A = this chain, B = another copy of it.
Amino acid sequence: MNFASDNWAGAAPAVMSALARHNSGFSPAYGADPLTDRISERFNDIFEREVAVYFVATGSAANSLALSAYARPGGVIFCQNDAHIRVDECNCPEFMTGGGKLVGIAGPDGKLTPDGLREALQAFPDGVVHHGQAASVSISQATESGTVYTLDEIAAIREAAQARSLPLHMDGARFANALVTLGCSPADMTWKAGVDVLSFGATKNGCWCAEAVVFFDPEAARGFEYLRKRAGHLFSKSRFVAAQFDGYFEEDGWLATAAHANEMASTIAEGIRAAGGRTAWPVEANEVFPILKRSRFQALEAAGARLYEWPATDLAATIAPSEDEVCLRMVTSFATTEAEVEAFLSTLAGAA
C-alpha cells in the first residue's frame, strides 16, 4: 500500500525495454544522436506543430531553466501559492533566473485565477524600477492539489498574462495525468490555450529520468542550449533520455499509465466518500488528499500504508480538518495495483 509519491515507483516495462533496446553500438554524444532527433520529431507530432525540445535531468531543472529563458533583471514570476516552483525547489528558479522573485497568489483548489493574477500584477506596474518587473506567469497542470485546469481556465489566465505581455509557463510534472482527465489533445492543453513553454515531465509517469523543456515558438528557444549547458544539464549520453521517451510514447503507453493512475485515485476517492470521509480538493488526476480522523490514519499506517500528512492551508471552514482530523496526501502511479487500493480501502473501512 504505497501511496507516498509517484516518484517512488520504478520505471515502466516499456521504458526499461527501450533503454535496453537502444543501448547497443556507438552514438554521438550531447544530443547529436539520431534517436534524439527522432524523438524530437515525435514531439512535433504529439504537439501538432514544430516545437523546440530540450532534455534535462529533473523537473526542477526543467521549470527553472524554462523560466530562465524569459528572465529579466529584477524579474517577477507569478504563480499560485502552492506551486512547486515556489515552495519545493530550494530556490532553483531564483538561482537560475539571476535572482528572480516568485510571487505566490492565493487561489482555490490549487489554481491560479485570472483575477488573482490581475490583482497581483497591479503591485508591479510597468516602469517602476523599485518593484522589479513582471517577467512570466506559471501554472501547474495538474496542480499541486491534484486538480486540473480546464482549457477555458488556462485560456483566461493566458489572457490576463497577455494583457501585460507576459509568457505563460506550464509545469507539466503530471502532464499526462491532466491530459487524460481533460481528454483533449496535447496541442489543446498547451499552445492552443496560450502556453508558451512547457515542462514536460515523464519521470513520475513511468520513466526513471525523462524531463523535457518544450518551447512552442522555436524562436523563443534561442540561446536555450547555452542556459542548459551552463547549468550542467546537457547529458553526454543523451540517447538514454531519448530512449526512455521512445518507450514512454510507444503505443500511447504514456496515456495508458496515466489513465490507470488516475483511475486508482478515483477509486480511492470514491471509497473514502463511501466510508463517510471527504477530500480536501476534488480528485481530478492521480492525487488524493483525504481528511481523516487521526486514529484512522494511525490504523492505516499500522497496517503498512505509506502516505504523508499534508499541510492543508486555505481550506474553507466546512472542509478544513477539525482538531482530531488530519489531511493526508496519497499519490498513485502506473505501479499502483488494484489490490493495493482494495487493501487500503478495506483497512480504512475496518478502522472506522
Contact = CB atoms under 8 A, between A and B. Distances in A.
Contact of A91 (B25, B101, B204, B237): B101
Contact of A240 (B131, B208, B232, B306): B208
Interface stretch (A70-78, A158-166, A286-294): A70-78
A223 B24 contact: no
Identical chains bound together, number: 4
Interface stretch (A44-52, A55-63, A249-257, A318-326): A55-63
Given A26-B335, A209-B237, A236-B203, A230 B95 contact: yes
A23 B68 CA distance: 34
A94 B94 contact: yes
Query: Max chain B CB contacts within 10 Å: which of A74, A123, A239?
Result: A74
Contact of A7 (B22, B130, B236): B236
A224 B50 CA distance: 33
A65 B92 CA distance: 14
A203 B8 CA distance: 24
Interface stretch (A82-90, A108-116, A259-267, A270-278): A82-90
A173 to B, nearest CB: 10
B75 A91 contact: yes
Interface stretch (A9-17, A174-182, A343-351): A9-17
A232 B91 contact: no
Contact of A133 (B204, B226, B236): B226
A94 B96 CA distance: 11
29 contacts: A4-B28, A4-B29, A7-B29, A11-B237, A16-B20, A30-B130, A57-B232, A57-B233, A58-B233, A61-B231, A61-B232, A73-B95, A73-B230, A74-B91, A74-B230, A87-B123, A88-B131, A89-B130, A91-B100, A92-B231, A94-B94, A94-B99, A95-B98, A96-B99, A98-B98, A129-B229, A133-B223, A203-B236, A208-B237
Given A61-B232, A92-B232, 16 more contacts: A7-B30, A11-B240, A74-B90, A74-B92, A89-B130, A90-B130, A90-B132, A90-B226, A94-B101, A95-B98, A95-B230, A95-B231, A101-B102, A132-B226, A132-B230, A133-B226
